[in-house]
Chains A and B, each alone.
Chain A
Amino acid sequence: MKAVTKKSRVFSFIILAALLTLGIVLINVFQKEVRSFFYWFSCPIQKILWQTATRTDELKQENQYLTSEIIRLKSLEDENKTLREALNIGLEKEYNLSFADVISKDASEDIILIDKGSKDGISQGMNVITAQKVLVGKVVEVFNNYSKVMLIYHKKMSFDVKIGQEEINAIAKGQGNLNIIAGLIPQEKKVFKGDIVSTSGLEGVFPEGLLVGKIEEITKNDIDPFQTAKIEKYLNVSEIKNVFIIL
């Protein structure tokens, strides 16, 4: 009797495992539709949460801003305003852009979700930047109303960059967890802390002149033929509210 129950238990366990596997396979076959359905009713809530949080960040920044030296900030503000206007004009002239709101960030990877999709003319491979011309990443998956953007910090991301005024060519490589490094810098080239890193556009993935960050730490080793440098990022993912997609 006991043997029969044990046997039927094993049998039902195998059937359940098979059903679960089949279910997972089926969901994965229709994963685009399943995900799209969940995003359809979750995105409005996520959008509100994301924007509430960015609003809090903005208020915090505003508070810090108000407590700083008034006269010095006044002149800085004027300078900033002029620069921002100049940048905006430049951006519009330089690229054909589409504006999008950031909705959420992937729980486990360096990927964000934006509220523009194939209906708005977005397609896979398009580049995403901020108003300050800072490179955000690349569109990797497009749904009807939403798109996934792989950030430049993603482990799969690598692209050509140039460092400093000397325009030393290097390869920027995402390290995951919002970290990025510049590698393949020739040993004989001198790279300094604070040098600005921007895209070189050599490989044709990203256009030239988009900001990536500045050199934070240089690792030089006599054995290695190349130097590596850690890049201090310009892009603060938790503070991005909206982005531009280069069409």
Chain B
Amino acid sequence: MIKKGLLLIIILYFLILLQTSLFLHLNFLKLVPNAAIILAITVNVLENPKKRFGIYFSLLAGFLLDIFSSHLIGLYMVILLVISLLLKFIFKRYVRIPFVEEI
């Protein structure tokens, strides 16, 4: 669990670095994908809704995105936190899927 969490955080950090440098040069992508947000949402969707790692992960993803953006720190943090909490709520109350693997 801790190992997987750390690995995900390292992947997140490098995705943000790629997003702000290499992805801009990929000509076939008309828009630069926000890989960090995609990863944070994926983690929240795949995680067992009762666990909280997704929420902390979203906060961290938001924080790192804020660091590499120009606006005030906190905007992405709050946006991702709200998305994460909403996903948790929806998956806990309304969705029942067999989780292949718990993160």
Contact = CB atoms under 8 A, between A and B. Distances in A.
Interface of A: 20, 24, 27-28, 31, 34-35, 38, 42, 45-46, 49-50, 52-54, 56-57, 103-109, 111, 141, 148, 237-238
Interface string B15-30: 0111111101101000
Interface of B: 16-22, 24-25, 27, 32, 34, 63-65, 67-74, 77-78, 81
Contacts of B18: 49
Contacts, number: 73
Q: Which of B16, B20, B32, B64 has the most CB of A within 10 A?
A: B20
Contacts of B68: 38, 42, 104, 106-107
Contact of B71 (A54, A57, A108, A237): A108
B65 A28 contact: no
Contact of A105 (B24, B65, B73): B24
A107 B19 contact: yes
A50 B22 contact: yes
Given A52-B22, A53-B22, A105-B20, 19 more contacts: A24-B77, A24-B78, A27-B73, A34-B73, A42-B17, A45-B17, A46-B20, A53-B25, A54-B25, A106-B70, A107-B19, A107-B20, A107-B34, A107-B65, A107-B68, A108-B70, A111-B70, A237-B24, A238-B27
Nearest to B14: A45
Contacts of A108: 69-71
Give the secondary structure class of A's interface: helix
Contact of A46 (B17, B67, B71): B17
A108 B79 CA distance: 14
13 contacts: A24-B77, A42-B17, A49-B17, A54-B25, A105-B20, A106-B20, A107-B69, A108-B70, A108-B71, A109-B70, A109-B71, A148-B70, A237-B24
Contacts of B34: 107
A148 to B, nearest CB: 7
Contacts of B19: 107
Nearest to B64: A38
A52 B70 CA distance: 24
B73 A104 contact: no
A117 to B, nearest CB: 16
Nearest to A21: B74
A106 B69 CA distance: 5
